[in-house]
Structure formats: C-alpha cells, structure tokens
Chains A and B, each alone.
Chain A
Amino acid sequence: MGPGSGLACDLTLNSVLTPELKAKYQDQDTVRRVLGRTRTIAMVGLSTHRQKASFFVATYLGSHGFRVIPVHPKAKEILGEKAYPTLLDIKDPVDLVVIFRPAHEAPRYARQAVVIGAKAFWLQLRIVSEEAAQIAEAGGLTVVMDRCVKMEHGRYDGTMHFVGMNTGILTARRARRWLPS
C-alpha cells in the first residue's frame, strides 16, 4: 500500500484543536512535506522505558529510515543513539524536533529548536501549545500540532491500514512505496 498520487480526504478526526487550528497545524500537505523532507529527528522526552509511547514511536521511525536523536536529562544512550540533555547540545543538523513533553514545557523547546536551526517542530497527540507554535513559526519552522508522527507516517506508508485504521486516503491510482524523498 501507499498513497499513490496521494488524493486524501481532509483528516479532522480525533483532535482537540479548533477547525482553524486544525487547518493551520494539521494540514495534510504540510504533514507529508515535513515527513518527506526529514532525515534526522530530535525527540524531546524519548523515554528509556520500552513500553512508553515515545519509545514505540522512536523504534518505529528508526526502522523506517529516520535517525532519532534522544533528548533526555539523564540517559547516555537510547535505541543505540547518544542522548543529549537539551536540543542545544546536539551538534548534527536536525530536520525535525518532536515533543513528548507536557504543553507548558513546549515553548522552551520551541526556542531551542529555532536556535539549532531545525526545519520543523512537531507536538505529539494531545500536546497543544499555541505559544510554542508561534515561537517556532516566527523562527521559520513548519509546525504540526496534536498529531502522532508514527500514526501520520503509517497513514501514508500504508502500515496503519494493516491494522484496520481509517487512513482517510482515497485514490484509484496505483500505489507506490512511500519513501522520504
């Protein structure tokens, strides 16, 4: 499976955002563009526990060709990658910053994401901070909010379909394996 030419329904299910904020921060072309252009992800709040959501997401992304750099206050290494206490400590270029921390901490990470020159800033499901979004946008970053990066990748990669989920994708065009360009 895969999105083919990618004719997709508008996906507005399961978000706490208002319609205006959904249009701004969950736009499907934007999500696809962010995932398509990303190679290196810094994940703030990646847990060392294998049964935590962040660990699931990082494991998934790692096996789909992304490099996931952990940002963790104490851990030395998670999933084979060296961990850093803050985004500012990461030396390599970062394409996308993914946040697995409470909303009130998000503005601080948005500021750090701007400083390190990340291209996009992503707040996971149920994490909503308009302040953080505005900081990141002002710094030139593309922002996605209240979406799961694993679910969104799985939606376009076709794997989410394997477990019966409603991807909202509808097309009569032949599928192509979706790989980041």
Chain B
Amino acid sequence: MSQKENKNRGRTFGFDTRMLHAGHIPDATTGARAVPIYQTTSYVFDSADYAAQLFDLKQYGNIYTRINNPTTAVFEERMASLEEGAGGVATASGMAAQLTTMMTLLEPGDEVVASQHLYGGTMTQFVHTFRKLGVTARFVDPNDFDAWEAAITPQTKALYGETIGNPQGSVLDIARLAALGSAHYLPVIIDNTFATPYLCRPLTHGANIVVHSATKFIGGHGNSIGGVIVESGEFDYAHYGSIADPSPSYHNLRFYDTFGHHAFLMKARVETVRDTGACLSPFNAFLMIQGLETLSMRMDRHVENAQDVASYLEQHPKVDWVAYPGLESSPYHALAAKYLPKGAGSVFSFGLRGEGGAVRAKGKTFIESLNLFSHLANVGDARSLVIHPASTTHQQLSDAELVASGIGPGMIRLSVGLETKEDLLWDLDQALHVI
C-alpha cells in the first residue's frame, strides 16, 4: 500500500471524469491505458482451497465469464458510478436486465405494478413471460398516483416505470413514486434508457434500481446489444423474502445478512444471471465502454437537435401534434424541467394531420421520402432513426385498434441523432412536402 495519503481525499469527481475513468485502473503488469478485452471464458484458480472459497462466495474473484469478467466489470462499475449506485450487473440486453431484476426480486404469485407507458417489448415481457413464471403485472397511468396506490395489493413486490415513456413522451414523477414505494416497502425500478445517467439519475430521486438497454445511447453506435442493472444499496431488504430468506442454491445462505447493501446485486449475479445465462459478452462490454466515454457530449448534441426538430415539427401545418416533453406545449414540461434539466432526451413521437387509411398511407409515403433518417426498429443510435408503427410494428392492427393503443395511424417516432441539425430539418421538410 502506498504510504502517501490520498491527495484527493473527499473529492467527488465530476460526471465526465467518471465517464472516462471510473471502474478502470491501468493494468499493473502491462500499464495498458485502454480497457483490455478479456476474451476468456474462465480463469485459473490459485489453489483448490481458493477455488472452493470462490464458489462458496467467500472470495470476490473471477470464476467464469457467465458470472463475471474483468472487461465487463469495468462497464458495470462505470455505470454504477455514473448512476451513483452501489454496483452494477451487466446483462445480454435491456430485456435481460429487466427480467434479471424481476427474477431476483419475485416469486411465483407475486405482483408488479407498472406504468402503462412502457416500451412494447417490456409490456409483452411483463404480460406473457411473467404469466409463465406465475407473476402478474398491473398497469396504471403513470401520472395517476391514486391508481398506483389502488393497484398495490399484499402480493405486490415492486413498482416499475420509465423515466421517459413513449409514445406519450410522459416524464415520470420519480420522487413521488419513490415515496409511494417507501411507504409500502416496495423497491422502485426505473428504466432509464431514454434519459441515460447524464440527463437523469433516478437513484438520486429515491428510486432503488435502474435498468438500461445499453444498446441505445450508452453504446450510441448501434453495433451491440447489451443491458445493465444498477442498484442504490439503500433498500432495506431485511424483511424482503427473496433477498433475506435462506437461499437453497447456496447452502441456505442469507444474502442480505451476508452481503448487506450488496445483497440484491450479488444475488442477481451469482444466482439469476448464473442460472439464466443472460451475461454480456466481454467484447460488447468493451464497445459499451467506448460509448460511455463520450456520453455527455453526445447527449448534449442529441437533446439540442431533438429540441429544434420538435419545435420545427410543432409549427408545421401538416403536423397534428408533437409529444416532446422539452416543448412548452407538453403536459410533462414541468416534470421535464425537474427531472431532465439538461434536455428531455431525443426519442419522441409526432402525428401527421389526417384520419384513418389516408393518414396511414401518408405516414408510409413520409417514411419512404426521407433520405437521412434510417428506417428501422431501434432508438438511441448516433444516426437519426424513424419508424411508422402503423405500417410496420403495428400493421396488423385496425385504425380503431391503433387509436385505442395510443399510437394512431399517423404517428411517427423519431430518434434524433447527431447529424448536422440543418440537414435533419431539410430532410424532414422535403419529406413533409411530398405528402
């Protein structure tokens, strides 16, 4: 140990510094400055006794890349640092991050109360996959706190929402949900994918667990699928059965008694991810780390472009509505000012003017007339993206069903990228001119 005292003791490093450095110390042997890719499945043990202790969780160490990996650990600690949590667990995708979180917390018969403004894939997972596991999700209007409260039953074990919900562009009142969770002894889980820790840090508003699809803005490059869970370590699991009770898969180990504020994270890693196999590959972890190193700069540009694109669309005669919480016309503008002071993200929806089949056809023509916006089913890429749900993901639904699902035949979703802003406005303008 260095006998020099810490020169920076007590210093809390800034977000950008942590984006570049947290979780990675230059390697003792090689001095490598970049994070090395440990493309290995397994790790030799020092001794038989040490191996036994590792498998017994009495040592923290590398066992097998399905459980942990030195490259992935950098990504995990960096995300934990940026979200201001106790630690992180990386997963194969954002969907895996949610499922890992829920499988760690829940038992068959349990219930989750969730916002109904969720990513469609999440909705499907919560309804159909949960049913196979004996878990029920109840969905509520995220802004109706009486509805949240009314949906909580003795079986409820968690509350779930997204920082920014789509397609409504709704901003969740995280502190209020956290207070409700606290009053009912329920962990509050927030999907922070659309905001990233640069725009919003839900744990600092009282949420207990954050999940991400790192595929989106965290990576930013649109080349890798990945996810991550970060937990605050502040929830007292002492009376929360799945974390506090003896674990049959570890000789009746009590995770909360043994690991304290690391209990949920340890259990998620050494039980849930171990058993589901939903680990992140080290190479993808490396690519996510590359993305994180420029997160703040990219997000500043994303929100600047998105704000101007949203303002442009709002004034266009062929546009019916724009659901961007950064606009003063948004009912969520005040919540955005509180939770997203640096900008309201860059994924939002707008509606073309018109009704029924005619506007559905207009939507299709609009998409096909764009030159710079990539037509695909993703968000959070450095490039601008667009999709028209009525002619793609939701094409099997009737016009009435589309309206009922809150999408509508003329709805277009944008993920505004980092291109030159004037070029994006030019592209939208010429495509709107065609319809």
Interface residues of A (CB under 8 A from B): 1-10, 13-14, 27-29, 32, 35-36, 50-53, 55-56, 59-60, 63, 125-126, 148, 151, 154, 156, 158-181
In the assembled complex, B362 has its CB within 8 A of some CB on chain A: no
Residues of A within 8 A of B21 (CB): 170-172
Which listed residue (B5, B25, B27, B77) contacts A164, Cβ 8 A?
B77
Please tell me if the beta carbons of A9 and B13 are within 8 angstroms of each other in the complex. yes
CB of B240, distance to nearest CB on chain A (Å) = 16
Complex Cα spacing A178 to B3, Å = 11
Which listed residue (A28, A158, A170) contacts B22, Cβ 8 A?
A170
The 6 A-B residue pairs with the shortest CB-CB distance in the complex, in nearest-first order: A164-B76, A165-B87, A166-B80, A159-B60, A14-B261, A175-B28
Residues of B within 8 A of A171 (CB): 21, 25
CB neighbors of A among B44-58 (8 A):
49-50, 53, 56-58
CB of A4, distance to nearest CB on chain B (Å) = 6
If A13-B233, A163-B68 touch, whether A6 touches B6 (CB-CB below 8 Å) is: yes
Which listed residue (A156, A164, A176, A181) contacts B265, Cβ 8 A?
A164
If A9-B12, A174-B28, A177-B28 touch, whether A28 touches B17 (CB-CB below 8 Å) is: no
Residues of A within 8 A of B77 (CB): 161, 164-167
Which residue of A51, A172, A174 has the most chain B CB atoms within 10 A of its CB atom? A51
Which stretch, B172-180, B207-215, B250-258, B421-429, touches the partner chain A?
A: B250-258
Residues of A within 8 A of B266 (CB): 163
Nearest A residue to B228, CB-CB: A164
Please tell me if the beta carbons of B269 and A59 are within 8 angstroms of each other in the complex. no
Please tell me if the beta carbons of B73 and A162 are within 8 angstroms of each other in the complex. yes
Which residue of A4, A156, A167 has the most chain B CB atoms within 10 A of its CB atom? A167
Which listed residue (A5, A7, A154) contacts B60, Cβ 8 A?
A154
Residues of B within 8 A of A175 (CB): 25-28
Residues of B within 8 A of A56 (CB): 57-58, 258
If A60-B58, A172-B26 touch, whether A7 touches B8 (CB-CB below 8 Å) is: yes
Please tell me if the beta carbons of A14 and B233 are within 8 angstroms of each other in the complex. yes
Please tell me if the beta carbons of B28 and A170 are within 8 angstroms of each other in the complex. no
Complex Cα spacing A4 to B31, Å = 11
Which listed residue (A55, A158, A165) contacts B262, Cβ 8 A?
A165
Complex Cα spacing A60 to B89, Å = 22
If A164-B73, A173-B26 touch, whether A51 touches B253 (CB-CB below 8 Å) is: yes
Nearest B residue to A59, CB-CB: B58
Complex Cα spacing A69 to B86, Å = 31
Complex Cα spacing A173 to B31, Å = 9
Residues of A within 8 A of B31 (CB): 174
Please tell me if the beta carbons of A51 and B258 are within 8 angstroms of each other in the complex. yes
Complex Cα spacing A158 to B23, Å = 10
Please tell me if the beta carbons of A4 and B25 are within 8 angstroms of each other in the complex. yes
Please tell me if the beta carbons of B28 and A28 are within 8 angstroms of each other in the complex. no
Please tell me if the beta carbons of B87 and A7 are within 8 angstroms of each other in the complex. no
Nearest A residue to B21, CB-CB: A170
Please tell me if the beta carbons of B28 and A163 are within 8 angstroms of each other in the complex. no
Complex Cα spacing A63 to B50, Å = 8
